[in-house]
Structure 1
Amino acid sequence: MHNYLDFEKPVADLEGQILELKKLDADGENAVDVSDEIERLEKRVQDALADLYKKLTPWQKTQVARHADRPHCVDYIARLITDFTPLAGDRKFAEDHAIIAGFGRFRGQSVAVIGQEKGSDTQTRLKHNFGMARPEGYRKAVRILELAERFAIPVVTLVDTSGAYPGIGAEERGQAEAIARSTEACLNLEVPLVSVVIGEGGSGGAIALAAASRVLMLEHAIYSVISPEAGASILWRDAARARDVAQAMKITAQDLKGFGVVDEILPEPMGGAHRQPELAIDTASDAVAAALAELGQRDGPTLKKERRDKFLAIGRTL
């Protein structure tokens, strides 16, 4: 059974009926052939999913982007990267498990990979701090970016965080400065840098890894300056108005493509990436491969200039 979101109740009811019929059929308790009925219900499920997902509101997309079963950074690395060697620590303070970084091969090509990992159960969520990095995580990212440039290795980043960790210790160790340095390192790179927003792209915690030559975004991911709940708390002192903030902030891939913040929207399987994780990852893989192939034809200074010009142009109308 899937973990259903609240707006997916019609699908949940239909899939519940399908499971009951399949159970009866497997137990031999059904004297009538139910295969036709199962097929009919499965068709209704697909129609219901198509109808729901073609008109998702920004708040519903936020729920999909946060779905517990959505493929995470470790899933992308496991499927796409061979010979992956993670590197730990920022050489200054500690290791931050919220950011996974290292080197491996993507379709036979050497790449550096930096991604935010939320965790998939209680134990791993605590280990990875729900994908919220501390300063040492961003300093580790800078370390990997500098290594990649030194050895002329392209970089792929996987963005999935509700935001950088706002704890007192993180602030004491220079959270804002670490995010700024990571953003600066991305902008100054003279190797190809491709970023994929695979779930949540939250605030500076996301842009620190996503100041890329090509920013790709999954169809039902979100990317925003602040989480809808935090925005509602600031504006109305009421986190329950998060859906209103989600609507106002234009956080969907479709809105951001129109603003020039992201370069390409990657289609997700019907019903979201959590329903067919491998298909979603393979779609992202093809897009990353195409972007790396295109960017690989440019020299270092050109890559750096184009990347900086791209971000300076965001929001300009003249």
Structure 2
Amino acid sequence: MSTYGLTTNTIAGTPSRVTQAIATASRRTGVDFTYLMGQAQLESSMNPTARAGTSSATGLYQFLDQSWLHVVKDNGAKYGMSWASDAIQQSGGRYYVADAATRQQILDLRNHPETASVMAAELASDNRAYLEQRIGRPADSTDLYLAHFLGAGGAAKFLATMSYSPDTPAASLFPAAARANASIFYDRTGNARSLADIRDRFASKLANGAQTAGLNASSADMGGGYAGGIPEGANMVQPADYMRIAQAQRAAAPETDIDTPDAISGEEALASQQMLGQQQPYPAFAPRAETARLAYLMLATFGR
């Protein structure tokens, strides 16, 4: 059980919230369910609140800060997160959020399995479209994981070179990635692994990850399905989920005195209402950005 109260495995054949979240993301985006399960197992052992010790990687799919801001900027509005995508700006190739509190709220959504799953699926879908245009064939799950590892452009370069020279040492094409991931690019004796070797290892890791997550991954391209079938009735990503997170964060935050220059006195509010024939007094403060955002999300929920 995680700190968000989310089960991370299946009990008595009932899909956990994490499994349901991944199934929903698969249905909404068309990205293979088995691939998403295998990737989550590899990245976080199905733990929605996992954190890396050496980087900003966080959550079920271990999104780095910049990767998360990028994918939310591109896809957040589809899932009731216009407040987040609109707040994310880009400058000099990097993404940023001007307000520190809003930035943290956006980054914290990586710990929310529904949000993390659908953003991972959207990113995989974008990578698939890019790769298929570049390599001229359908991209399989191992290709998608290469794109996750090297970026879409790096994966396209990897696969294009492997198509005519599979024995090329991968480190010669990706020296920076090799320095940061020596165990992937070199064997225990220090010999450089070839492109074909690395792709085969990724395919094997995905298959093992899917099996560990409770799947029947019977083929190298991860074409198998969930042992019990893709869970039915999984809840769609709802703005109310984001509201609960924001409200929980607000409840946990220390209270501070906030200057509200636009506030009106109780007497002024009552006088205004009497003029309008209303009986209940208005709150004696002006709405703030956070409460406005929650109100927007509540209205968006009604439209689902």
TM over 0.5: no
> Normalized per residue, which structure has more helix?
2
| TM-score normalised per structure 1 | 0.24
Question: As a proportion of its length, which structure holds more strand?
Answer: 1
The higher-RCO structure (CA 8 Å, 6+ apart) is 2
Q: Under a length normalisation based on structure 2, what TM-score does the superposition of the two structures give? A: 0.25
